Chains A and B, each alone.
Chain A
Amino acid sequence: EPEVTQTPSHQVTQMGQEVILRCVPISNHLYFYWYRQILGQKVEFLVSFYNNEISEKSEIFDDQFSVERPDGSNFTLKIRSTKLEDSAMYFCASSVSSWTGDLFGQGTRLTVV
């Protein structure tokens, strides 16, 4: 069964450093998302991406965040200058259409120290 793949599974970074979280969505999917989950809390929307552009972003997704789909298979989330409060589990998700379920990856645990 196809699945969304995320790397790395765990990343530790120093405050102020840049990090890139990587995702390989399911190959025929057209809608791509990043969500985050702070430990013990609910999953929060960050950004959606369709037709090679951002379709919506949340208030969390400020100028420190960016997304790219550089080669038609990978989907990356970059945080330019990490803060302690960026520590969370980051999930990539994708779907083939508006009306099919969004499938989530296993997540990247980001720890900012």
Chain B
Amino acid sequence: GENVEQHPSTLSVQEGDSAVIKCTYSDSASNYFPWYKQELGKGPQLIIDIRSNVGEKKDQRIAVTLNKTAKHFSLHITETQPEDSAVYFCAASIRGFGNEKLTFGTGTRLTIIP
């Protein structure tokens, strides 16, 4: 089955700097890669996703890049703000064939230092 690894497990950055979180996946059939933000005591919140036919996607300060050959994808947050502090999870899934489950990475605790 799919295995998703995520690094780093913790990340501290100065407010205003950029943060990068990286994930690798094992199943080359995976074709959908969402990123979730989880604040304390809350459910995962979808922040951005990318399909395998796209190499990069951007939404304001957040961007995701995908390298299918290397089987890795990354989340980039620019101009970080204190409210970006949370745990971020990457996930991978095979979509469109009836097998829709998400396999999550182990999470990155991002702390923005004011």
Chain A interface secondary structure, helix, strand, loop or mixed?
strand
Chain B interface secondary structure, helix, strand, loop or mixed?
loop
Interface size class of B (residues with CB under 8 A): 20 to 34
Whether the pair A102, B46 counts as a contact (CB closer than 8 A) is: yes
- Max chain A CB contacts within 10 Å: which of B43, B46, B51, B96? B43
Whether the pair B43, A56 counts as a contact (CB closer than 8 A) is: no
Which of the 9-residue segments A14-22, A41-49, A75-83 touches chain B? A41-49
Q: B27-52 interface mask toward A, CB cutoff 8 Å, 1 = contact, 0 = none?
A: 00000101010000011111001010
Whether the pair B51, A99 counts as a contact (CB closer than 8 A) is: yes
Contacts of A4 in B (CB 8 A): 43
Cβ of B106 < 8 Å from any Cβ of A? yes
Whether the pair A98, B46 counts as a contact (CB closer than 8 A) is: no
Query: Residues on B close to A: CB < 8 A?
Result: 32, 34, 36, 42-46, 49, 51, 89, 91, 95-96, 98-107
Query: Residues on A close to B: CB < 8 A?
Result: 4, 6, 31, 33, 35, 41-45, 48, 50, 55-56, 58, 91, 95, 98-99, 101-107
Nearest 9 CB-CB pairs, A to B?
A: A104-B43, A101-B46, A45-B101, A98-B95, A43-B104, A42-B104, A104-B44, A106-B43, A42-B106
